[in-house]
Amino acid sequence: MSGTNASAITGTPTLARLLGLGRPLVMGILNVTPDSFSDGGQFLDPATALARARLMMESGADIIDVGAESTRPYGNAVAVPLADELRRLEPVLPVVAGFGVPVSIDTMKPQVARWALGAGATIANDVWGLQRDPGLAGVVAEYRVPVIVMHNRERADPSLDIMGDIRAFFARSLDIADRAGIGHDNIVLDPGVGFGKTPEQSMTAIARLAELKSFGLPLLVGASRKRFIDTASPSPPDRRLGGSIAAHVLAVLNGAAIIRVHDVAEAVQAMRVLTAIRAKR
């Protein structure tokens, strides 16, 4: 299947076709990890992970994002060896890909991306925006699949002009994509809420998201259960549903085409109501 968009073979809807529906898309998060910041360990067992994925699909998820290495932004995530990441994915991702909902592979490793795209994933999601491992852009180009390019930093800098930093980061990522042969019609930009940012900078990224529309590319926002919610309304991660929905509604109003969430059913309902109300304008 090298060099082929898997969706053309499986019949899974392409990202372009989903974006053409004219409504916000909901990406459900499936972490098969022991240490993700919000749900680490809950879906490490393959049977539990598959049940979770099926529930997300039945709840209306447009995309399921599967990851096997925690990239939690606040907790010194431990790097996962390649063999362990693949071992966690092997009993889960191919089955989820067979559900008929597009699957994205959340990984920083080219080897994992290649395996996942060969196993049925149709989207690559890189939390380092093609800048951590140069080999990842080549894999994306080879398979001709969409890639989510996320802004990230090693550490937060409160003095930083965060929107300027995001724009400069995306410019570098797009240059890497160009040189690898990734078409702009296969790129989604994610400002990386919570990653390498203070809570205030994360809120700024959502409030000023419309500035990133100048790139002319779809925008994704993943604000689900992030720490900035606790800053505005103190709460543990599993009690941040209301804040997550508020942030995602604002993100869509500011130009987001996709939201990445833990609580799929509630997010789908929020997006349907938002769409219905906007249609009355």
**Domains of the chain from N-terminus onward:** 6-278 (3.20.20.20)
**Predicted pLDDT of residue 74:** 44
280 included as an active-site residue: no
23 included as an active-site residue: no
**Predicted pLDDT of residue 203:** 98
Question: Tens of pLDDT along the chain (281 residues)?
Answer: 445 454 444 467 888 899 999 999 999 999 998 744 454 456 568 899 999 999 999 999 999 999 998 775 544 556 789 999 999 999 999 999 999 999 999 999 999 999 999 999 999 999 999 999 989 999 999 999 999 999 999 999 999 999 999 999 999 999 999 999 999 999 999 999 999 999 999 999 999 999 999 999 999 999 999 999 999 999 999 999 999 999 999 999 999 999 999 999 999 999 999 999 999 98
213, 260, 278, 281: which is the annotated catalytic residue?
Answer: 260
Cα distances (Å, whole numbers) of residue 30 to 19, 163, 262:
21, 29, 8
Q: DSSP for the chain?
A: -TTS-HHHHH-PPPHHHHHTTSS-EEEEEEE--S--TTTTTTT-SHHHHHHHHHHHHHTT-SEEEEESS---TTTTPPP--HHHHHHHHTTTHHHHHTTTS-EEEE-S-HHHHHHHHHTT--EEEETTTT-S-THHHHHHHHHT--EEEE---SS--TTS-HHHHHHHHHHHHHHHHHHHT--GGGEEEE--TTSSS-HHHHHHHHHTGGGGGGG-S-BEE--TT-HHHHHHS---GGG-HHHHHHHHHHHHHTT-SEEEES-HHHHHHHHHHHHHHHTT-
23, 88, 226, 240: which is the annotated catalytic residue?
Answer: 226
- Identity (one letter) of the amino acid at 9? I
Terminal C-alpha separation, the chain: 46
Q: Are 4 and 144 in contact (CB under 8 A)?
A: yes
For the segment 79-129, what is each residue's pLDDT rounded down to a tens digit? 789 999 999 999 999 999 999 999 999 999 999 999 999 999 999 999 999
For the entire predicted model, the pTM comes to 0.92
Rounded to 5°, angle at Cα 29 from 97 and 143: 45
Q: Are 95 and 57 in contact (CB under 8 A)?
A: no
**Predicted pLDDT of residue 44:** 62
**Predicted pLDDT of residue 121:** 97
